[in-house]
Chains A and B, each alone.
Chain A
């Protein structure tokens, strides 16, 4: 498939003076976002700052309390068919005895009613099967797609789930902490895979991350949520002492390690959320 040229003049995602509530609790407000087609964007911020809330808004599962949102030039609900989504998860239960291939296939036609015809009798069904195989190959999961998904490792499951999110050829891919349960080498491999898909297929990718460092080399932009607000921009302009100090309303320092890793220091994180394993840029 050739890479797609940007279609929507207004960009892939735009939010204008947007505010979101969870029940009666305000999550963020006054958020303006402009994300162009084909960009690879990370959504960062401390726990509870509203990263997943942004995804729910973009999926049309949560209406904004103020402001306007447009996804691929349409309302989020209208854009649903063009969005691939990978929720945050703990992984499949080891006892889940359904093949990885079937899990990918559900992403293609799992929402259709009625029984599918066997591919022997239906050209459409055969094409669907070929598409599923193509995606499995794209994410490098061919060796284990026939095994029950519950028996696979976290990284293997994550690749199949990315294939599932991609199989409808979405123009926008929303990934909620896809690297969270993976070890470091798998984090880099999956981030590289996502970037490759983003570039070769012209898909806009919004990736919620806990730690920006494994994906930093691949990113075009970051969106940073904190203290009830959100800002966006190129990674090094946003993850920057003065910018984050203004966002948090407290002095923040960003240090750069000799290997290029960014470490954010001084964020007023609520107690109990202090995980500093590698000095993630958002903690």
Chain B
């Protein structure tokens, strides 16, 4: 719990920042949040483009039993999160179709939904096996910024660096396969392999994000910033950058407010992310409605 005597925001950024970083747990939380935001912002942009939010959601549900099993076995939570999401991603890759959005989506989402239900059931079992005394059940589901260790931050950093390097290497063919799978396949892009590789990256991003936001709130960083960025621009490079920036913004603001308030970080991050999305969505709709269609596209479609 946050000590109540700290609940006093001075509104002086320097003083507040000093107050926040006085404690090592808060420094670790800020580092972990920053790493996770960059990873989730970038991977999330592709996830939204590929219409794989349901797969992402399922991976988050799979993260929960993984973490609960790790707690039960006395292993670090990170092992449970990454292990479960990695296996889950491989499982999803075997049922999913190549080429992103489109064909066979109904059968695929039914299969994914089945996996998701099983995962939640298993998670519930592990929590019960813990004799109902799993103290951090709430933080497994809704996140925490307390008790993030330096070792955890390092693990997150290496995972994020590796995942982002892979994403940079496969980025262009992945974009091609996501938008236009059939043409990509015809010119020799390995769409099926890329789909599996992306699910694995998504699994890593979900596992990393769940360690901060909890399994149920990963979408605050994985979907909302990416969806907001895609409302703001139709340029892939700029969209990716914006998605990362917005994820960083909601994480930093969420952590700061949570530190100075009695309410949990998961609530602040999701609320702030949602607020940004609504503002941008309404703004984009308004721009579309009032700007003449024939005018330059930059204005007409709310495109930067």
Contact = CB atoms under 8 A, between A and B. Distances in A.
Contacts of A80: 186-188
Interface residues of A, number: 34
Given A85-B183, A115-B168, A148 B234 contact: yes
Contacts, number: 93
B267 interface: no
Interface stretch (B117-125, B172-180, B274-282): B172-180
Q: Per DSSP, are chain B's interface residues mostly helix, strand or loop, or mixed?
A: helix
A96 interface: yes
Contacts of B176: 106, 110-111
A98 B183 contact: no
Given A85-B186, A87-B186, A98-B234, A114 B172 contact: yes
Interface in A69-92: 80-81, 83, 85-87, 89, 92
A99 B235 contact: yes
B236 A113 contact: no
Interface string B236-261: 10010000000000000000000000
Which of B180, B185, B231 gathers the greatest number of chain A CB atoms within 10 Å? Answer: B180
B213 interface: no
Nearest to B101: A93
B115 to A, nearest CB: 25
B35 to A, nearest CB: 20
A155 interface: no
Nearest to B190: A111
Contact of A87 (B182, B230, B234, B301): B182
A109 B176 CA distance: 9
A7 interface: no
Contact of B186 (A59, A89, A92, A115): A59
Interface in A96-127: 96-99, 102-103, 106-107, 109-116
B186 A61 contact: yes
Contact of B172 (A59, A110, A151): A110
Contacts of A165: 183
Contact of B170 (A96, A113, A148): A113
B236 A102 contact: yes
Contacts of A103: 179-180
A248 interface: no
A85 B187 contact: yes
A184 interface: no
A111 B234 contact: no
- Interface size of B as a range: 20 to 34
Nearest to B167: A115
Interface string B269-304: 000000000000000000000000000111011010
B185 A98 contact: no
A114 B169 contact: yes
B172 A147 contact: no
Interface in B127-185: 168-173, 175-176, 179-180, 182-185
A146 B101 CA distance: 22
Contacts of A87: 182-183, 186
B172 A115 contact: yes
B302 to A, nearest CB: 9
A115 B171 CA distance: 7
Contact of A111 (B168, B189, B303): B189
A109 B172 contact: yes
A27 B4 CA distance: 76
A110 B175 contact: yes
A195 interface: no
A81 B188 CA distance: 9
Contact of B303 (A81, A99, A112, A116): A99
Interface of A: 59, 61, 80-81, 83, 85-87, 89, 92-93, 96-99, 102-103, 106-107, 109-116, 144, 146-148, 151, 164-165
21 contacts: A61-B186, A80-B186, A83-B186, A85-B186, A93-B101, A96-B179, A97-B233, A98-B175, A106-B184, A107-B183, A110-B180, A111-B173, A112-B173, A113-B170, A113-B172, A113-B173, A146-B298, A147-B300, A147-B303, A148-B301, A165-B183
9 nearest CB pairs, A to B? A110-B176, A146-B297, A87-B182, A148-B234, A147-B297, A85-B186, A99-B234, A97-B230, A106-B176
Given A99-B235, A106-B175, 13 more contacts: A81-B187, A85-B183, A85-B187, A92-B179, A98-B234, A103-B179, A110-B173, A111-B184, A114-B172, A146-B303, A147-B301, A164-B180, A164-B183
